[in-house]
Every structure is written in structure tokens, then in C-alpha cells.
């Protein structure tokens, strides 16, 4: 939602349709933090990276 895409420069790009899709995506966001995420990886470095990414998300 906070980035630009190459297709936005196309002649047939429809800003109104894109805005509707952004609104649809916003309405599907899980804003409550009452869920548990469980994950694993064989590489401990990837776990650290995933934890850091989760903090920023």
C-alpha cells in the first residue's frame, strides 16, 4: 500500500480501480494482535531475520 508499481505508468492504468483495490486490502487487514504465528527454519540466521521483519511489520 505504500509503494509504487511499474504498471502505474502504463497507458491503461486505472487509478480509480487501484484505489478500490487498496481499500479492499485495507479492509482485510488483521489489526488485532490476538493471534499466534508459529514458524520454523533450519537456518538460525533466517529466524533472526524473520523476527526482525516481524517487528517492523
Judge whether residue 1 has pLDDT over 80: no
For residues 42 and 30, what is the distance between their CA atoms, to the nearest angstrom? 28
For residues 1 and 21, what is the distance between their CA atoms, to the nearest angstrom? 10
Task: Give the pLDDT score at 23.
Answer: 94
3-36 tens-digit pLDDT = 899 999 999 999 999 999 999 999 998 888 887 8
Judge whether residue 40 has pLDDT over 90: no
Q: How many domains does one find in the chain? A: 1
Which structural domain, as residue segments, surrounds residue 45? 6-56
Residue 1 placed within a domain: no
Other CB atoms within a 10 A radius of the CB of residue 38 amount to 4
Comparing C-alpha atoms, which of 5, 28, 30 is closest to residue 18? 5
For residues 25 and 19, what is the distance between their CA atoms, to the nearest angstrom? 10
- The rounded Cα 32 to chain-centroid distance in angstroms is 16
Amino acid at each position: 500500500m505504500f509503494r509504487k508499481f511499474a504498471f502505474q505508468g502504463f497507458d491503461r492504468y486505472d487509478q480509480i480501480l487501484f484505489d478500490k483495490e487498496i481499500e479492499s486490502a485495507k479492509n482485510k487487514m488483521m489489526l488485532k494482535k490476538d493471534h499466534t504465528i508459529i514458524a520454523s527454519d533450519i537456518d538460525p540466521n533466517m529466524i533472526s531475520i524473520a523476527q526482525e521483519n516481524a517487528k517492523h511489520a
